Structure 1
Amino acid sequence: MRLGKTLLRLIIGLIIVLFGTFKFCSSSEENPVTGEKQYVGLSAEEEISLGRQSTPKMIEQYQGLHPDSDDQRLVQEVGKKISTNSMASSSPYEFKFYLLADEETVNAFALPGGPIFITYALFKKLEDEDQLAGVLGHEIGHVISRHSAERMAKQGFTNSILTGVAVGSESGGATQTAAVAANLVNMKYGRGDELESDHIGVKIMLEAGYDPEALIGVMKILESSSGSSRLPEFQSTHPNPKNRIEKIKEAIEMYQ
């Protein structure tokens, strides 16, 4: 009887894993902008809708929009220039740019579908318009590369693996090991996103008439802002800024 129950658990666990694998593999699409084959969990229309819905919450989370209209206008003008004069113009996304009021958190990020944000804490550290274009170009890179949709698809896949292991095994240790492995896979994938967006950011800057060397200056700003408490690169979602600089230099040589 016990053997029969164990076999049944294994079969159910295997079915869950196979279903998750099939669903993930069937989500393959070619990115219309980058030409890259991707596994994505959302359509472009769903990404745009999700970005629109999430924008007010993000603005609220970072203390609202910055009140300086000139700075706000600069962010919007630079964002529009690089999004309409580069490869980003051929994407289906609605790019909108926001300067957030948060003066403590050094950050910039993008939501699916086009909303792009930079905190005033980072904005005030930038030395010129080229560096601003570098930050925004990097974030555009995340959007057109569909990184959020990719991560959702991959998270769904890893969750199905974890569920299958949990159902098919009585061993808590096996489930925990699978969870750790899945987390490391997704962390590495996140760092790959950052490097890809740096690469695309360089191309976008050149196409829009900005100096891509400015992106190296942005990395030095991020490095000086990280402090001594940052995690080793392998345990961090983002690559070490020093290593990103080397990849940025390679991209500059490729496109110039």
Structure 2
Amino acid sequence: MSLLKVAIQSAGYEKKKEIIQNINFTIKKGELVGLIGPNGAGKSTTIKSLLGLMEFLDGEISYINDINYSYLPERPIFYDELTLWEHLDFVAAVEGLEEKVFKEKANTLLDKYKLSEHAHENPTKYSKGMQQKAMLVLAMITNPLLYIIDEPFMGLDPNAMKLFLESIEMERNRGAGILMSTHVLDTAEKICDRFLMIHDGHLVAKGTIEDIRRQCQLPNGSLYDCFHMLAEGAENEK
């Protein structure tokens, strides 16, 4: 079942000044799709298009009926005057979560990410790694059916990264779909079901790692090898 269907003909901040063109893909229940590309390729524009933040968009973005999704930005964002617990309480109120269920879920996540002792502190004062973990807790509190994640590994130490990977695997097993933008290609190759490779605003390849290897004619190539071959090929075609 497709949780999200994307058919973007073009999108940008102004009409006739498109940043991305011909971006088409789906996200299904329980799958993790990696959004891959260099800086400036159009990954952020693609994500902003999904979130309805682009001023100009020609195409169609369709979410399954009544889906709830969570967005994890590349850089953590918090309200200056709220503690982490108050952030969680605010999200619960907006989403209409039952108080007992909310508190049980919140305490479980805070304990799992070792943030229980800091729940009543202002997250703007946290370390970078703690802020990333706080954002994950806020994203997971509503049990979303779809995650849109932008560069999740920034600021995470190895233990926190392991915990994050275990968490998203648990969410996938629950049936959640995940679109994850990342530059960490070796990790992406190990955990993603499919890939979307964007270069210069265009989708230059998509599919499983086997699909990508066939397109590149690199039967034993790594995701890193394939990406650079496709990127160089796109540059040469200009």
Category of TM-score, reference length = shorter chain:
under 0.3
Structure 2-normalised TM-score?
Answer: 0.24
Higher relative contact order (CA 8 A, sep 6+): 2
Structure 1-normalised TM-score?
Answer: 0.23
Higher strand proportion (structure 1 or 2)? 2
